[in-house]
Amino acid sequence: MKTVILSLCVAIAFVSQAQRYEWAKGWEGRDNGNNYISGTVTDSKGNLYVLANYAGQSGGPYAMWDSVRLNPTTDMVDDGVVLACITPQGNMAWRKTVWINGGGTDSHELRMLGDSAVACLFTYNIPLWSEYGKLYYLDTLLRGVADGYPANISGYTDYWRTGLVVFDTTGRIVEQHALHMARVDTSGDYLRDSTGSVLNSPLERPSFDVDADGNVYLLLDGGVAEGSCLMDNERRVGVVEGLHGAAWSPVVLKLSPHLDTLLGAQALVAGNTPSVSYGGNNLKVRTDTDGVYVYGTLLRRTGHERYDTLAIASGISRTIGYSSLYTALLVKFGADLTALYAVGIDDTPLNAQSAEYWQSGNLGSTFREVAFDPDSGLLFVAGDCWQRAGTEPLQCAVYYVDGQPTELVNHAFVLALDMSEGTLHSVARMPSLRQSNLGLGWIPFTIHAAGLAVGGNRVLLQGVSVGGVYYPNLYRGDQGGGSRLTMAQFDYAGHVVRGYDFNAVGSGDIPAALAMRDSLLYIANILTGSPRFGLHELHPQEFAGCISLMVDTAFMSPYVYREPEWVDSGSVGIEPVADVALFSVYPNPFVKNVKIRLEGGAEHGHGDTFTATLTDIFGRCERVDLSPDGQGCYTLDLSACPLSAYLLTLTAADGRRYTVKLLKQN
């Protein structure tokens, strides 16, 4: 009897933890242009690693984390980059900062390498050697080149370097690189200016990722031409050769582990297409087991033809519609940097009266984040489309995804694509009654704010509800066009499950990042004076980056869909499994095995093929085998499972999912 009571308590705890915010923490600064979160990753212990920019003010208010000043010195300048390790309890286990007297830092991206190391990418400006030329670099205060600066500026025309640094999970530096580009002639000799200094340049809006073999992929936003040499401080990594692309084109570089050798280079766009302005793109690179993905936004030039064709490397072409000044694009490459397919947002041409709007950026689309689910073979791409004319949308273009007309105007969305082919599997939409809703202003284009996490038939997307947004269990609206941070949950078929309100209501609040590990969901946002996040009071001095922890078990609640569309009234198209009795599982509670009986069989669209997954109380999912046991019946052996509560999910051949809660006892 004691065992039964204990198991029931576990089941009750499993449910009661739903949607609970454990804590909310933040670092504070003076403006959301320089105070932002670039990336978050987690390890298997649930520790969160955060890369961010911070910005205080001379003489205060200073940049703070949980009432502790981030800068290690008392100098006037209070801007910098911080890499921090946050425990599941919300405490800062350690931090590393890069601070420059006179300013000049940009944080870019963060990646987890296995479960034992993190790699971060940031850019810093090396100050001139003088009594004021101080650089606080990852726990070391440096003064001048002779004092051991991590990059040598002597003999070069540009003083910016991009640090690619690897740490172990305790904060110890494992390896580091100081990257920039130099120009060489056909003989391999450096090109120099009139003073004899080598002509070099910083990495333009860099992005990076590391594949399973340790190869590093580095994406640069233009500025790379034939004869460009990637430098690691003063060491030549390799000279770019065989590059055939427009001068402005973003370029992917493939490097061997530890950046020993340049293995290849590929321009994103070939030919002389005048579609994009150099330096105005916003793109990222991500690797997965089956390829390399480049995605984001291309900035178009004005005064072009009604349609432009982007000739992707390897002969793939994409037609970009007339209306979009900002154009969403995703290209998949193989490991050899051969382009495999391209996906974008197309639209119909607008009439001449609308030309002023696309030229000023009031029309466009962007891809902001991607996430992979290797179990389903799906690639998820989050983005948004907008049409703005003052305070009212134009509503005059039709957007196409994979050749299909799709309602995306003024929506945040998640496209589920077949990872191998790039074909469209489903579209999940977060509509907003007014304007775009993954972020406001131009800050999202600068820092690529978003927030996407997937796993176990759950798609979580952060956004900004502008003028109201509907969810099955939540409505937040402001007909005057006010905004608030919110999050939508979808399934892999694009159905909306529920919405979550963060109770953060600053007019400039911006979604930043999501990180999900088992039953824990870390939420990162930029708050502009909001008094609280959830039920947690925050007191930002002006602008703050916020991290909160939400217990994730509610995201696996049993449900079944009756209607696949968004609702615009009080009716809800989702019902609990317990109320519709589409299948039965017995005995429950169980000791070793359970039997599954389908109610109604094929006439309910079940078909003959099922897959089953079992989810424990920590959110860990595993595929389980069903043994046929008569017509419409199966047996499931769970004898090896510990005493606990579980969720059993059956997926039919038509894509429907049915979930029931199980309890194992002695």
- How confident is the prediction for the chain on average, in pLDDT? 75
Give the residue from 489, 439, 550 showing the smallest Cα distance to 48. Answer: 550
Which residue has 């273009």 as its token pair?
397
Which residues have C-beta within 8 Å of that of residue 382, sequence separation ≥ 6? 367, 368, 369, 370, 371, 412, 413, 414, 438, 450, 451, 452, 461
Strands 633-637 and 627-628, bridge-based pairing: antiparallel
Question: Do residues 24 and 534 lie in contact, with contact meaning Cβ atoms separated by under 8 Å?
Answer: yes
Q: Are 663 and 589 in contact (CB under 8 A)?
A: yes
DSSP 8-class letter at 351: P
Q: What whole-number distance in Å separates Cα of residue 560 and Cα of residue 578?
A: 10
Query: Which pLDDT value is given to residue 602?
Result: 40
Q: Is domain 571-663 in CATH 2.60.40.10, yes or no?
A: yes
Q: Rounded distance, CA 212 to CA 287, Å?
A: 9
Burial of 184 (0-12, 13-18, 19+ CB in 10 A): middle
Lowest-pLDDT choice from 81-90, 316-325, 546-555, 575-584 = 575-584
- Starting at the earlier edge strand, list the strands of the sheet with 399-401: 346-347, 399-401, 404-406
The strand ranges marked E within 377-423 are 378-387, 399-401, 404-406, 411-418
Length in residues, the chain:
666
Residue 574's pLDDT band (boundaries 50, 70, 90)? very low
The pLDDT of residue 547? 83
Is residue 345 pLDDT above 90, yes or no?
Answer: no
Report CA 96 to chain centroid distance, whole Å: 22
Residue 561 has pLDDT above 50, yes or no: no
Strand 291-299 to 262-267 pairing: unpaired
* Residue 438 scores a pLDDT above 60: no
**Is residue 233 scored above 70 in pLDDT?**
yes
- Is residue 70 over pLDDT 60? yes
Place of tokens 């059993």: 648
Mean pLDDT value of segment 177-198:
93
Q: What angle do CA 446, 448, 452 make, to 5 degrees?
A: 165
At 236-245, the pLDDT tens digits run 999 998 887 6
pLDDT in tens, 471-526: 655 555 554 556 777 888 888 888 777 777 777 766 677 888 888 876 688 988 88
H, E, C per residue of 439-468? CCCCHHHHHCCCCEEEECCEEEEEEEEECC
Which pLDDT band, with edges at 50, 70 and 90, does 139 fall under?
Answer: confident
Q: What is the pLDDT of residue 432?
A: 61
Query: Secondary structure of 598-645 in the HEC alphabet?
Result: ECCHHHHCCCCCEEEEEECCCCCEEEECCEECCCCEEEEECCCCCCCE
Range 575-581 contact pairs with CB under 8 angstroms and sequence separation of 24 or more:
577/658, 577/659, 577/660, 578/660
pLDDT at 411: 76
3-state secondary structure 538-596: CCCCCEEEEEEEEECHHHHCCCEECCCCCCCCCCCCEECHHHCCCEEEECCCECCEEEE
Of residues 659 and 432, more confidence is placed in 659
The residue that leads in pLDDT, 663 or 438, is: 663
Find, among 343, 294, 353, the residue nearest to 322 by Cα: 353
Q: In this model, does residue 95 exceed pLDDT 90?
A: yes
Q: What is the mean pLDDT of residues 65-80?
A: 76
Please say if the pLDDT value at position 389 is more than 60: no
Q: CB neighbours of 130 closer than 8 A, spacing ≥ 6?
A: 144
Nearest to 527 by CA among 541, 508, 548, 503: 508
Nearest Cα residue to 565 out of 490, 475, 496: 496
Residue 346: its pLDDT value, please? 64
The reported pTM is: 0.79
Separation CA 575–CA 579 (nearest Å): 7
Beta-carbon contacts of 119 under 8 Å, excluding residues fewer than 6 positions away, are 110, 111, 113, 164, 165, 166, 167, 208, 210
Which residues of the chain are in CATH 2.60.40.10 domains? 571-663
> Environment class of residue 57 by beta-carbon count within 10 Å: exposed (0-12), middle (13-18) or buried (19+)?
middle
Nearest CA to 598 out of 585, 583, 612, 588 is that of: 583
Which range scores top for mean pLDDT: 59-73, 267-281, 310-324?
A: 59-73
Which pLDDT tens digit goes with each residue over 591-615?
888 888 765 444 444 445 677 888 8
Closest by Cα among 241, 271, 178, 208 to 38: 208
Q: 């432009």: which residue's tokens?
A: 308
pLDDT at 28: 73
Q: 510-546 as b/e, with b when 16 or more CB fall inside 10 Å? A: bbbbbbbbbbbbbbbbbbbbbeebbebebebbbbbbb
Residue 132's pLDDT band, with cuts at 50, 70 and 90, is low
CA 292, CA 208: separation in Å to the nearest integer? 11
Provide the CA 148 distance to its chain's centre, in angstroms.
35
The Cα-based distances of 473 to 494, 571, 573 in angstroms read 17, 10, 10
The percentage of residues in the chain with a pLDDT greater than 70, rounded to a whole number, is: 66
Can you read off the two tokens belonging to residue 174?
Answer: 């494992």
Provide the greatest CA pair distance for the chain.
88
So what's the pLDDT on residue 22?
A: 81
Report in angstroms the alpha-carbon separations of 651 from 140, 608, 637, 664. 54, 11, 18, 22
Distance separating alpha carbons of residues 174 and 210, to the nearest angstrom:
15
Cβ burial of 24 (10 Å; 0-12, 13-18, 19+) is buried
